[in-house]
Structure 1
């Protein structure tokens, strides 16, 4: 697992040991970021269910100013910190929290944060993508031009909501990726 493009291009990332996390493959990461970026002119990201932090780190490498990393697994939090440290990413660019996803979203809303990019990659067995997308919508966490990137089981079909349309849906074998954006 490595950073595909940008400032940290080519650097390897540590993965969370065990079978509880499933890092986004380099092929999927490259394709997805090519569709949503491929580079950013600043902005704020949220890597929810961050695992090793690969998606958020890729977004920082491609130009996001800051990223908040959230995972409920203590070992994942440790690996994110190690990956951030190894790449010498500035402390001002990251916030890392051990928290439940729904609580983290509520905390972001209390802080009145608005994100340019929200990355959702929960364990496939949870099947709560739409619930999270609807909570993001209800809490008003996405900027007008923002996007939500959802990685999910290819068998699962995510649908548009009252305020978010599907910009792109792709399949990579068993992996599905759906990208939402605000309806204008």
Structure 2
């Protein structure tokens, strides 16, 4: 009786756990990121669309990437001319890799904080003393369903400059209610994803 032929080990697809910067100063650079549950880099096509939307706003902007993960959004912003990008990442390995990638790129405007995004927002200084941002990226692990909590915390603290852009990525069925002074600018879907861009206009508050 012949022995069964052993199957070769399954290899990870080429390029897995690699992020490619798609525009700006570091266009084409590939950066590593670790295997972490819930870490899901924003795809190239969506990123290209998003940063086309943000083209008038990104130069010199101060950005906040609340669930940085691979750094797809925060690093892309720096590559395209943002003055600063604060990357919040709870996972130790992912945060360490982000710091390594910032050093590799010599990205002086980038700062990584290893902490929970909600804890970061909760501990922001009071109005008039807090750091203010021009662009905020909200792309949490979908299974945690954190959109509303993050939105509520952002609305509670005065950390957005007038006219700030807020990007939110979610699943098609995920629900959240933005505050009345967040004006919807763009709303698109791709596969099972929905991605939207809001602008903060405090004069519109009811």
> Is this a same-fold pair by TM over 0.5?
yes
RMSD of equivalent CA atoms: 1.7
Secondary structure of the corresponding residue to residue 109 of structure 1: coil
2:76 counterpart (52, 55, 58): 58
The structure that has the greater radius of gyration is: 2
Question: Is residue 167 of structure 2 the alignment partner of residue 149 of structure 1?
Answer: yes
Question: Is residue 113 of structure 2 the alignment partner of residue 100 of structure 1?
Answer: no
Question: Is residue 90 of structure 2 the alignment partner of residue 72 of structure 1?
Answer: yes
Question: Is residue 190 of structure 2 the alignment partner of residue 139 of structure 1?
Answer: no
Superposed displacement of residue 157, structure 1? 4.0
Is the CA contact (8 Å cut-off) linking 1:137 and 1:163 kept in structure 2?
no
TM-score norm. by structure 1 comes to 0.91
Is the CA contact (8 Å cut-off) linking 2:78 and 2:110 kept in structure 1?
no
Gap regions ≥5 residues in structure 2: 1-18
Alignment partners' CA distance in 2, 1:5 and 1:166: 25
Alignment partners' CA distance in 2, 1:120 and 1:50: 9
Partner of 1:126: 144
Secondary structure of the corresponding residue to residue 180 of structure 1: strand
Secondary structure of the corresponding residue to residue 13 of structure 1: strand
1:40 counterpart (39, 42, 58): 58
2:34 counterpart (16, 41, 47): 16
1:126-168 deviation per Cα after TM superposition (whole angstroms, max 9, x unaligned) = 2221221121111011110111111111222444322212211
TM-score norm. by structure 2 comes to 0.82
Gap regions ≥5 residues in structure 1: none
Superposed displacement of residue 11, structure 1? 0.5
Aligned residues: 182
Alignment partners' CA distance in 2, 1:74 and 1:161: 32
CA gap 1:20/1:147 in 2 versus in 1, 3 angstroms:
same
Alignment partners' CA distance in 1, 2:77 and 2:56: 9
Partner of 1:168: 186
Secondary structure of the corresponding residue to residue 152 of structure 1: strand
CA gap 1:39/1:14 in 2 versus in 1, 3 angstroms:
farther
Is the CA contact (8 Å cut-off) linking 1:159 and 1:166 kept in structure 2?
no
Partner of 2:12: none
Secondary structure of the corresponding residue to residue 59 of structure 2: coil
